[in-house]
Chain A
Amino acid sequence: MKDIIKPIDEAAAIEMLHKFNEDLLPKKFGKVGQVWVVFLCIVIGVGIYCYVKQLRQGLGVTGMGDIVSWGIYISNFVFFVAISLVGSLITAILYLLNISWRSPITRIAEVIAVACIIFAGLIIIVDMGRPDRILNMFVHGRIQSPIVWDVIVVMTYMTISILLLYFPLLPGISFCRDRLTNIPKWQKTMYRWLSLGWKNKPEQYEIVKKSVTVLSILIIPVALSIHTVTSWLFETTYRPGWDSTNFGAYFVSGAFMLGAGGVIAAMYILVRFNPTYEQYITDKHFDRMGRLLVLLSLIYFYFTINEYMMPGYKMKGEESAHLTELFVGKYAFMFWSVQIIGMIIPIVLLFFNYFRRPFPMFLISICVIIGAWFKRFLIVIPTMLHPFLPVQQIPEAAKVYVPTFEEWSITIASLAGALLIITVFVRYFPIISIWEVAEERGISHQVIYEHLNEKE
């Protein structure tokens, strides 16, 4: 494990600062990056085509029916809300706890949060039968409805997350504006507009730091709210499997675990495709994130036990059909795979130093992410299949839920869309905060002001 090398004098500091700037300013993508963007665009294109079809023909193009009236759109929405919680975890909680190693990964977490919360909002519109009437939410909104709570908290969270991404990004944009040469005119104009005339003055840094502190405090209750309210969308009903007082904590803990997994995967991909980042996102960061992930997974494990073991012990009338389906029935394979591969194996492996290295952790975090997606599928769909009244005398097709091609492609397109936002961000903005990395090494804002700012 490498420790942070601090500059010995000002000359060394200046040299270091210029090196950061060279390393961390966004660069043009290579072949792999370009292919990746084209691939994402194709996936999104197919998704948009399917959505237009859905708009014209109605939600009938999906596999949903009167029994399973919420499908993978809703479970995907829960997934997006869950992963976006990571922004508050890494940015706010670690920031307020004054944990020094967080600075190179803060922005990764925050951009994941922003991209995912945007797509959470979009995918919920996709699920609406009448998206043309979305304004009714504001014209006729009823504050008694958990959906209105969700709209309020998701929009608040989105706003705070965007600000929490944008404010610390201002110096970064100004470096792009002043230091990047050989870029198209529109890009230059974009940086000029977005940098809001940032001058790198030490006073400006003070304002940004104060704002980030305020936003970090604000975002924690809002972040807990978004996922708690999302769990209440289910918990406010009587259905077996959703009628659980454990749901809020269960959802929030699962979200933190998923978010940490998401950040680890993103860290690995960044380092893998841009080896310069290795000097900033070191093995030490992976190790620390691994420890964080195992802690969060243990908390989630605790709430999972509460969620399934106690109802499973009692096997109460209505619950038993649902739980039997999960434990030994049609969904047993998915249920146990998700619990074992998506939670128990990661916990066990991450206890060992050997597995807290970049590549094993990348694989573990992919297991966590995929497990988490199917976990949300298991929260939504099996419960819909077990209403209070027996499912009888309806067409066979309505008794099972098989998502259609259109449904899958729209869902996958939403995931691709979030990835595209992150990719485009990496292409045009410094994904590792230059000034925060400098600050971590004790380089003062005055030095940044004197040596990195464009002189008028």
Chain B
Amino acid sequence: MIETKNEEGDASRKKFLKLGAIGGVAIAVAGSLGILKAFSKEEKPVTGKKVKLLSPEGKIVEVDSSYINPELPDIPLNIRQGAPGKKFVMVIDLSRCKNAGKCKKACSKMHYLPPERSFIKIEKMQDAETTSPYWMPTPCFHCDNPPCVKVCPVDATFKLTDGTVGIDNERCIGCRFCMAACPYSARVFNWSEDLYKMSEDELKAIKPHHQCSSHVKGTVEKCDFCPSHAQKGILPDCVTACPNGVFYFGDEMEDTVSNGDETVRLSTLLKEKAAYRYLEHLGTKPRLYYLPPANRIFPFEDKTEEKTEGVEHKQG
């Protein structure tokens, strides 16, 4: 019995080592070639293609291309567990925002929301009468001391290990205390069914986002940092949709954030650009930083909705 067990153990260990070796080689090589980014835009891997790579021992090895940027299977998300070993963080560069509204559209599309609704809002802010106004996108702040989680009577909203604040729409009783408690107005409520023209089966059929797009009537929802993307190291849709690179998203543990165009060190970015957190005095400890609207790349323009639409078309 013991021997068999040992054999089995050996076998699985061998298998594990083998996998580890392949993975290790792939990562090492990919790293040396600069292919691997902590967060990159989603790319479809070409399977069945062999790629020649240089191993750490100096040998040429052939590996399947899918190893280099492997398409991880859709992990069935446990909504109460975050991505292991990660601490997601977002930085919003206010000097780049011109209220293009692409993030809102992408968010609505991603979460199967009706077009007039999104989990991100873009507010026109003006700190004093004498100072210039600026645009401020506000998704959920995923606070480390979240007022919404504190007040929830049934543990339907909670802090995940990866730093995000999640919602269990199958448990929420719809008391909306979290909405009253949130100082950032991040939460929205499913007031009625017909807001979403999708049946429950249709919603369940959506991959990979059905868990964060469940739209259960009578429950609260909000920005979720696109967990099924974030788990795989793919940037949330608002980040990639922004034409001006306003949003940086990343993992605090890796100390890197990316806006899709550039990947930068988080600590350096926060230090050099004098980042701040909105309503810091409330003590909510948001996981969302703002870079001040200094040295802006666009002059502030307050256009009407239609004009904004027109400009967007030209850009697109």
Contact = CB atoms under 8 A, between A and B. Distances in A.
Interface in A366-404: 384, 387-395
Contact of B192 (A61, A134, A145): A61
> Main SS of chain A's interface residues?
loop
Nearest to A384: B180
B32 to A, nearest CB: 46
Given A59-B189, A128-B175, A130-B173, A137 B183 contact: no
B121 A70 contact: no
Please classify how large the interface on chain A is, using the bins under 10, 10 to 19, 20 to 34, 35 or more: 35 or more
Among B121, B174, B176, B191, residue most surrounded by chain A Cβ atoms (within 10 Å): B191
B218 interface: yes
B153 A57 contact: no
Contact of B123 (A128, A131, A147, A393): A393
A145 B153 contact: yes
A238 B173 contact: no
Interface stretch (B12-20, B84-92, B144-152, B229-237): B144-152
Contacts, number: 134
Given A58-B193, A141-B153, A142-B154, A129 B218 contact: yes
A391 B185 CA distance: 9
A137 B123 contact: no
A237 interface: yes
Nearest to A60: B192
A66 interface: yes
B218 A130 contact: yes
Contacts of B191: 58-60, 62, 64-65
A360 B175 CA distance: 41
Interface in B133-160: 138, 147, 150-156
A237 B192 contact: no
A384 B181 CA distance: 10
Contacts of A61: 192
A242 to B, nearest CB: 8
Given A60-B195, A236-B151, A387 B218 contact: no
B177 interface: yes
B185 A67 contact: yes
A317 to B, nearest CB: 10
A57 B181 CA distance: 26
B155 A70 contact: no
A141 B150 CA distance: 12
Contacts of B180: 69-70, 234, 237, 239, 384
A146 interface: yes
A129 B172 contact: yes
A136 B282 CA distance: 30
A133 B152 CA distance: 14
A283 interface: no
Given A65-B191, A392-B124, A58 B184 contact: no
A392 B153 contact: no
B157 to A, nearest CB: 10
Contact of B189 (A66, A134, A146): A66
B122 interface: yes
Closest 4 CB pairs of A and B: A129-B174, A60-B192, A129-B218, A58-B192
Given A58-B192, A129-B220, 10 more contacts: A58-B193, A58-B218, A60-B195, A64-B191, A69-B179, A69-B180, A146-B151, A237-B180, A389-B138, A390-B125
26 contacts: A58-B218, A59-B174, A59-B191, A127-B175, A128-B173, A128-B175, A129-B217, A134-B173, A136-B154, A136-B171, A137-B153, A137-B154, A145-B152, A145-B153, A146-B177, A147-B153, A147-B177, A238-B181, A238-B282, A384-B180, A389-B121, A389-B123, A389-B184, A389-B185, A390-B123, A390-B124
Interface of A: 57-62, 64-67, 69-70, 127-131, 133-134, 136-137, 139-142, 144-148, 151, 233-234, 236-239, 384, 387-395
